[in-house]
Amino acid sequence: MRLGIEVDLVYWFERATDVLLQIEAAAMVDQRIVAETLTIWSDDPIRAAIGEDGIGQRCWTRADGQWRAEYRGTIAIDRATIDLLPLAATPPRDLDGHLVPYLLPSRYCPADRFEGFVRREFAGLEGGALAAALVDWVATSLTYAGNASTGETTALDTFASRSGVCRDYAHLLVSLARAGNIPARCVSAYAPGVDPPDFHAVAELWLEGSWHLADATRMAGCGDIARVAVGRDATDIAFMTVFGSAQLMEQSVRVRTL
Amino acid sequence: MRLGIEVDLVYWFERATDVLLQIEAAAMVDQRIVAETLTIWSDDPIRAAIGEDGIGQRCWTRADGQWRAEYRGTIAIDRATIDLLPLAATPPRDLDGHLVPYLLPSRYCPADRFEGFVRREFAGLEGGALAAALVDWVATSLTYAGNASTGETTALDTFASRSGVCRDYAHLLVSLARAGNIPARCVSAYAPGVDPPDFHAVAELWLEGSWHLADATRMAGCGDIARVAVGRDATDIAFMTVFGSAQLMEQSVRVRTL
Amino acid sequence: MRLGIEVDLVYWFERATDVLLQIEAAAMVDQRIVAETLTIWSDDPIRAAIGEDGIGQRCWTRADGQWRAEYRGTIAIDRATIDLLPLAATPPRDLDGHLVPYLLPSRYCPADRFEGFVRREFAGLEGGALAAALVDWVATSLTYAGNASTGETTALDTFASRSGVCRDYAHLLVSLARAGNIPARCVSAYAPGVDPPDFHAVAELWLEGSWHLADATRMAGCGDIARVAVGRDATDIAFMTVFGSAQLMEQSVRVRTL
Amino acid sequence: MRLGIEVDLVYWFERATDVLLQIEAAAMVDQRIVAETLTIWSDDPIRAAIGEDGIGQRCWTRADGQWRAEYRGTIAIDRATIDLLPLAATPPRDLDGHLVPYLLPSRYCPADRFEGFVRREFAGLEGGALAAALVDWVATSLTYAGNASTGETTALDTFASRSGVCRDYAHLLVSLARAGNIPARCVSAYAPGVDPPDFHAVAELWLEGSWHLADATRMAGCGDIARVAVGRDATDIAFMTVFGSAQLMEQSVRVRTL
């Protein structure tokens, strides 16, 4: 499957400000960059920086006054949908060091708080069987709602409000998975079925030696997700981090199946 | 039913410190004080202050060095167990002003966060039917565990950890009830079945014009609870509030059916 | 001094929803209601309910579809500006029961967390001398900024961000005062100098047997504040509490010196 | 300088539990492992896993019933004390990708909340001058107190309580540095002057292309700190992470200058 991606950002900066962008689809074995351009209207030079876990790339830039960025990408995705259910559990003690952070709590994914819930409600399940049950639980327990959360909302809030956007679904699924000893990370992505069209966020769960995409919003299938960045939670995968302040003027994200 | 209550407190105060005690059973229509003594070994005078909602009394004192208090009470409780289920709902707009705070979120009972959960999981229920369902839900969803919570634990934490002590059960029940538009307050109390023996905390829900005791830990029946103080949450009903710092040396609470 | 107050609210309610309004200036000894009308366009009856501490009145109503409320008031304020500095401290143990909640932490005013700061930075001060120092500290340490906070912002957040709106100034001042054993409550109010014009929030500090208004934003002098409601924090004094959801369409608050 | 380190841990595990230990001093260019043994009394195999940023090593093990670990190390430290003051600032946009997480907020270091404070109180300072001022500010503004914080305490709490243990000093310094655009990470460590003797935690600040140790408790000089692990905050550098529950029986940490 091929995705055509068009992103346009226009922001206003009161004063010269450093900006970290993460909006380019990552080149990976299951998602090939067919064509890609990132254009930033700025007098300052642009610097690339490697993404978390060596995936994708961040782009440092400097903005002053009106600032515009345009991303155009064609991505070929070749990824089979895998049934999580039969995948075996890996006990924590067999995990490599680079996976350890994905077992631990983080700001928006306070996994330690959810251990009691996971132990009680999913007793006897582990590995793929637990992962599949958790994805299903989040998908059916939450209502998608654009106005139910903010940038400060944690998985604890979402667990009680039972509603949120893609980011909240991902945070809750990641928290529950970690609480069940499954390494889990957050992924920013592009996907065609996102409604309203926007940057998307999903989870990745580590089972039987590799990462498996899981979108608890069920807006996207595993086969049509183009990853941008990965990390512990929304902190790491934000499409734009401003080291100062900025004002949104226009923003559009369009993703089509080609 | 008659309860015999014996409380002994020994604390150490590094320097002269104001202390607010709330350990005397409250004289109320459904719980009569047969006999009662509160002895505080202190050179400073003791002052009584009225409790929240005019219920019970607080006792102001001043402690320095080793400080000891002893409370002995015999309380006659005459209170029928009422089935919550058939009680009608009162819409918020028909509630008197003094009940308004008990519809609102408080520090340990952030009721606003739970509106989504209550709306989804208990759709169609209100008033007594909702109250009964919530008491049952908390009673069966939590595990009693002495080490699962601290003085900072909120109902959001307990909702995720699915465990706690009486205070946590009360906070969660109160939060869910308020989220479902039922005025709810926290109550500190004495009850004979509390294990390990200690001060107890339960909830009171306002239905059909009066308060109804509900103990989601199911350690105490409505007929054997002697209220001490009421309030929005643990902040208001603490048995001891120290305006400085103190060190626990000995504390025992014994409650028997006479 | 006389204030002329004009408030117009237009909201949209998707479905029939109970609403609690607190927008009428309170009749008190130092602020006399010369003339006042509250008009609500609603088919449902309107019910008055007493405010916290018996001050002012809440108004219960029910809204469905487009909903409009209009308040017009003329208030005569007769209140001397009092110098807080010489006022004596009242130790907690001498306070009446109805003041106890105003010594305790609340959701947006977690006073217990600030004890260390107050003890260190204002060592040796108490009562009026401490109160005056705290008002001054908040006034000079914060920057007024409309976009620095949300309805979830607590005094801890404001203490670190060093910016906020009137509500944040009041929360921080109240938290610091309580941490220094001065009873403190939040007050919603009208005042002529508020810029941009809006509902205002200030603090009241209990010293030498009475409440004293303090506006750490310094937008209003004590002599030109008309109280609406009092309470532990923003939870209690919100001008509108919606038991469901609503959408703001238009809102204006105009306060003039007559 | 040479440090002799002796750590003994005895814990009780109710059931077989995975445990992650991070107690071995890291081999680094400025701290050489002269001799080292880690003995764990367990029937299960022990697995090493690389630490965060490739520094030091974690040790995975499995514990059941009484569990004992003993670490003995001799570490030669060769590290000059560097004056932070003259070090130049590196703007965010010039930082490599692996440093980005250390500019971002984390669970215990919510750096975003402190931007207002740093901007106001340290206006005009950046880079080494800011770093030196922040270390000094934390050192002089906090009081070391063993009972003022828990494992849940964040830098926001410490900022208000103005007291804490080494971990709290490190969290606050790291938060302030990040808020001032200086990459900062937390470091678990051994140092001889820690009183009472225990694992130690300090900060590292990135200035002029390298990490610089900073101990705001002033218990340790840069020249006598042996790093164990680094990370975003206490989550990453815990000396023991238990994937289940455990009970402390005995624990001792002794660090001497040889």
This complex has an ipTM of 0.96
* Residues of A in Cβ contact (< 8 Å) with D103: 243
Mutate to test the interface with D, among A50, A57, A100 (most CBs of D within 10 A): A100
Q: Do residues B212 and B245 both lie within one domain?
A: no
Q: Do residues A29 and A110 both lie within one domain?
A: no
Q: Do residues A130 and A165 both lie within one domain?
A: yes
What is the block-wise mean pLDDT of chain C (258 residues), using blocks of 10 residues? 97 96 97 97 90 96 96 97 95 96 98 97 97 98 93 97 98 98 98 93 97 96 95 98 95 96
Q: Tell me which of D195 and B179 has the higher pLDDT.
A: B179
pLDDT score of C66: 95
**Dihedral, CA atoms, A186, A190, A196, A197, nearest 10 degrees?**
150
How close D176 gets to chain A, by Cα (Å)? 14
User: Contact at 8 Å (CB) between D240 and D9?
Assistant: yes
Domain limits for position A160: 92-237
pLDDT score of A42: 83
User: Contact at 8 Å (CB) between C172 and C155?
Assistant: yes
User: Contact at 8 Å (CB) between B74 and B255?
Assistant: no
Q: Do residues A50 and A141 both lie within one domain?
A: no
How close A71 gets to chain C, by Cα (Å)? 29
Does D157 contact C114 at a Cβ distance shorter than 8 Å? no
Q: Do residues A68 and A106 both lie within one domain?
A: no
Distance from C-alpha of B175 to C-alpha of B232, rounded to nearest angstrom:
10
Residue A85 covered by a domain: no
Distance from C-alpha of C38 to C-alpha of C32, rounded to nearest angstrom:
16
Percent of chain A with pLDDT over 90: 95
pLDDT higher than threshold 90 for residue A45: no
**Count of the separate structural domains present in chain B:** 2
Report whether the peptide linkage leading into residue C196 is cis, meaning its omega lies within 30 degrees of zero.
Answer: yes
pLDDT higher than threshold 90 for residue B147: no
Q: Do residues D192 and D116 both lie within one domain?
A: yes
Residue C147 covered by a domain: yes
Q: Which residue has the tokens 């155009």?
A: A72
Q: Do residues C111 and C219 both lie within one domain?
A: yes
A14-28 mean pLDDT: 97
B245-249 mean pLDDT: 95
pLDDT score of A79: 95
- 3-state secondary structure at position D143: strand
Residue D87 covered by a domain: no
Q: Does B143 touch chain A (CB under 8 A)?
A: yes
DSSP of chain A:
-EEEEEEEEEEEEEEEEEEEE--SPPPBTTEEEEEEEEEEE-SS--EEEEPGGG-SEEEEEEEEEEEEEEEEEEEEE------STTPPP--GGGS-GGGGGGGS--SS--GGGGHHHHHHHTTT--HHHHHHHHHHHHHHH-EE-TTS--TT--HHHHHHH-EE-HHHHHHHHHHHHHHTT--EEEEEEE-TT-SS---EEEEEEEETTEEEEE-TT-SS-GGG-EEEEEESSHHHH-SEEEES--EEEEEEEEEEE-
What burial class does residue A167 get, using C-beta atoms within 10 Å of its C-beta: 0-12 exposed, 13-18 middle, 19+ buried? buried
A146-153 mean pLDDT: 91
Does C160 contact D162 at a Cβ distance shorter than 8 Å? no
pLDDT higher than threshold 90 for residue B45: no
Q: CA nearest C246 in A: which residue?
A: A147
Distance from C-alpha of B101 to C-alpha of C238, rounded to nearest angstrom:
12
| Beta strands at D163-164 and D143-144: parallel, antiparallel or unpaired | parallel
Nearest CB to A107 within list D97, D106, D236? D106
Residue D223 covered by a domain: yes
Q: Do residues D115 and D214 both lie within one domain?
A: yes
Mutate to test the interface with C, among B104, B107, B178 (most CBs of C within 10 A): B107
How close B162 gets to chain D, by Cα (Å)? 15
Q: For residue D150, count other CB atoms closer than 10 A to its CB.
A: 11
Residue B85 covered by a domain: no
**Range list of H helices, chain B:** 115-121, 127-141, 155-161, 166-179, 234-237
How close B222 gets to chain A, by Cα (Å)? 28
* Residues of B in Cβ contact (< 8 Å) with D150: 150, 152
Mutate to test the interface with C, among D144, D154, D163 (most CBs of C within 10 A): D163
- 3-state secondary structure at position B128: helix
* Residues of C in Cβ contact (< 8 Å) with A150: 150, 152
Q: For residue A78, count other CB atoms closer than 10 A to its CB.
A: 10
Lookup: tokens for C207: 């010293």
Q: Do residues D32 and D124 both lie within one domain?
A: no
Distance from C-alpha of A154 to C-alpha of A240, rounded to nearest angstrom:
19
Q: What is the pLDDT of chain B when averaged over all its residues?
A: 96
Nearest CB to B162 within list A117, A143, A160? A117
Distance from C-alpha of C241 to C-alpha of B210, rounded to nearest angstrom:
23
Q: Does B150 touch chain D (CB under 8 A)?
A: yes
Q: How confident is the model at residue D148 (pLDDT cuts 50, 70, 90)?
A: confident
pLDDT score of D49: 96
**CB proximity list for C43: less than 8 A, separation 6 or greater:** none
Q: Give the sign of the dihedral formed by CA B216, CA B133, CA B113, CA C236.
A: negative
Distance from C-alpha of D31 to C-alpha of D124, rounded to nearest angstrom:
35
pLDDT higher than threshold 90 for residue B99: yes
We report the CATH number of the domain holding residue D146 as 3.10.620.30
Q: Does C160 touch chain A (CB under 8 A)?
A: no
Does B157 contact A156 at a Cβ distance shorter than 8 Å? yes
Q: Do residues B104 and B178 both lie within one domain?
A: yes
User: Contact at 8 Å (CB) between C174 and C220?
Assistant: no
pLDDT score of B36: 96
Q: What share of chain B is helix, strand, coil (3-state, %, to 5)?
A: 25, 40, 35
Phi, psi of D19 (to 5 degrees): -135, 135
- 3-state secondary structure at position D132: helix
Report whether the peptide linkage leading into residue D196 is cis, meaning its omega lies within 30 degrees of zero.
Answer: yes
Opening angle at CA A238, ends A234 and A239, nearest 5: 155
Q: CA nearest D246 in B: which residue?
A: B147
Distance from C-alpha of B103 to C-alpha of B111, rounded to nearest angstrom:
8
pLDDT score of B44: 84
Closest-CA residue to B255 (of B72, B78, B81, B77): B72
* Residues of C in Cβ contact (< 8 Å) with D141: 120
- 3-state secondary structure at position B94: helix
Chain A contact partners (≥3 CB pairs within 8 A)? B, C, D
Q: Do residues C248 and C156 both lie within one domain?
A: no
Closest-CA residue to A228 (of A5, A2, A1): A5
User: Contact at 8 Å (CB) between A101 and D20?
Assistant: no
User: Contact at 8 Å (CB) between D33 and D27?
Assistant: yes
Residue A34 covered by a domain: yes
Q: Do residues C105 and C31 both lie within one domain?
A: no
Nearest CB to A160 within list B141, B143, B156? B156
User: Contact at 8 Å (CB) between A182 and A205?
Assistant: yes
Q: In Å, what is the CA distance from C103 to each residue of B134, C65, C175, C188?
A: 32, 41, 9, 19
| Amino acid at site B70 | E
Closest-CA residue to B192 (of B168, B161, B223): B223
Q: Does B160 touch chain A (CB under 8 A)?
A: yes
Element (H, E) at C157: helix C155-161
Q: Does B160 touch chain D (CB under 8 A)?
A: no
Residue A83 covered by a domain: no
We report the CATH number of the domain holding residue C70 as 2.60.40.2250
Model's pTM, two decimal places? 0.96
Lookup: tokens for A44: 């300052």
Phi, psi of D174 (to 5 degrees): -60, -40
How close C143 gets to chain D, by Cα (Å)? 9
Q: CA nearest A149 in C: which residue?
A: C152
Does B160 contact A159 at a Cβ distance shorter than 8 Å? yes
